[in-house]
Amino acid sequence: MKSIYSVFLFGCAVLFAASCSSGGGDDTPPSTGKTITLSADRSSILADGQDAAVLTLIDNVTHEDITSKASFYAGEQLLNGTSFTTEVPGTYTLKAVFGDVTSNTVEIKAVSGDIDAEGITLSVSKEMVFPDGGDFAVLTLTDADGADVSDLGEFYADGKALEGRRFSTTSGSAAPITISATIGGHDVENTAEIIATSNINFTSRLLFENITMTGCQYCPFVKTIIRDVEKDDPAQVICYCIHNSVSTLYQSSQLSQTTLDYANVYCDFMLPDESDRRRAAPKSFVNRNKENHSYDSKYIQPDNLRTLARQQPKNVGIAIESAYTASEVTVHASIGTKQSFSGRAVAVLTKRMSWESDSYKYRVMLAYAPSVEGQELSFEAGKAASFNVTFDLTKLGSVNPDECEIIVFVLNAEGICQSVQYAGVGEAKSY
- Rounded Cα distance between 350 and 347, Å, is 10
Name the pLDDT band for 8 (thresholds 50, 70, 90): very low
In this structure, are residues 209 and 281 in contact, taking their beta carbons and an 8 Å threshold? Answer: no
pLDDT at 252 over 90: no
- Rounded Cα distance between 194 and 398, Å, is 42
Q: What percent of the chain has pLDDT above 70?
A: 87
The pLDDT, as a whole number, for residue 267 is 87
- Rounded Cα distance between 340 and 344, Å, is 13
- Rounded Cα distance between 90 and 115, Å, is 13
Residue type at position 393: L
Instruction: Please tell me the least confidently modeled range out of 190-199, 268-277, 394-403.
Output: 268-277
Contacts of 14 (CB under 8 A, 6+ apart): none
pLDDT at 279 over 80: no
In this structure, are residues 177 and 195 in contact, taking their beta carbons and an 8 Å threshold? Answer: yes
| Rounded-to-10 torsion of CA 21, 25, 26, 28 | 160
395-to-40, 257, 258, 363, 398 alpha-carbon distances in Å: 25, 8, 6, 19, 9
The pLDDT, as a whole number, for residue 366 is 97
pLDDT at 361 over 80: yes
Of the two residues 9 and 419, the one the predictor is more confident about is 419
The pLDDT, as a whole number, for residue 33 is 55
The pLDDT, as a whole number, for residue 100 is 93
Q: List, in order of start, the domains of the chain with CATH numbers.
A: 5-112 (2.60.40.10), 121-196 (2.60.40.1080), 206-424 (2.60.40.2420)
Q: How confident is the model over 144-200, as pLDDT tens digits?
A: 989 999 999 999 999 999 999 999 999 998 899 999 999 999 999 999 999 999 999
Q: Which of 60, 57, 59 is nearest to 81 (CA)?
A: 57
Of the two residues 103 and 357, the one the predictor is more confident about is 103
Paired strand residues for 317: 336
DSSP string, 249-269: HHHTTSS-HHHHHHHHHHHHH
- Rounded Cα distance between 192 and 127, Å, is 8
Q: Mean of the pLDDT values across residues 369-397? A: 97
Q: How far apart are the first and last CA of the chain?
A: 30
The pLDDT, as a whole number, for residue 39 is 97
3-class secondary-structure state, position 50: coil
Q: Describe the crossing of helices 219-229 and 302-310 by its angle, rounded to 10 degrees.
A: 50
Of the two residues 8 and 131, the one the predictor is more confident about is 131
Instruction: Please tell me the least confidently modeled range out of 17-31, 49-63, 365-379.
Output: 17-31
Q: Which stretches of 85-205 are assigned E, i.e. beta strand?
A: 90-98, 101-102, 106-112, 121-124, 128-129, 137-142, 153-157, 160-161, 166-167, 177-183, 186-187, 192-196
Tally of residues, the chain = 431
Q: Which stretches of 249-403 are assigned E, i.e. beta strand?
A: 283-286, 316-324, 328-337, 341-354, 361-369, 375-379, 385-392
3-class secondary-structure state, position 93: strand
Q: Mean of the pLDDT values across residues 240-269? A: 86
- Report which DSSP code applies to 303: H
State the average pLDDT for the chain: 88
Radius of gyration of the chain (CA): 24
Q: How many helices (H) and strands (E) does the chain have?
A: 6, 30
pTM for this predicted structure:
0.88
Q: How confident is the model over 113-122, as pLDDT tens digits?
A: 888 889 999 9
The pLDDT, as a whole number, for residue 281 is 63
Q: How confident is the model over 13-45, as pLDDT tens digits?
A: 333 333 443 344 445 444 445 799 999 999 999
Q: What percent of the chain has pLDDT above 90?
A: 73
Paired strand residues for 369: 347
- Rounded Cα distance between 327 and 65, Å, is 8
Name the pLDDT band for 358 (thresholds 50, 70, 90): confident
Task: Burial-class residue 379 by CB neighbours within 10 Å (0-12, 13-18, 19+).
Answer: buried
Name the pLDDT band for 1 (thresholds 50, 70, 90): very low
225 phi, psi to nearest 5 deg: -60, -50
- Rounded Cα distance between 147 and 150, Å, is 9
Of the two residues 297 and 300, the one the predictor is more confident about is 300
CB burial of 338-370 (b: ≥16 within 10 Å; e: otherwise) equals beebebbbbbbbbbebebeeeeeebbbbbbbbb
In this structure, are residues 215 and 181 in contact, taking their beta carbons and an 8 Å threshold? Answer: no
Contacts of 301 (CB under 8 A, 6+ apart): 225
110 phi, psi to nearest 5 deg: -100, 120
- Rounded Cα distance between 205 and 312, Å, is 7
- Rounded Cα distance between 261 and 425, Å, is 23
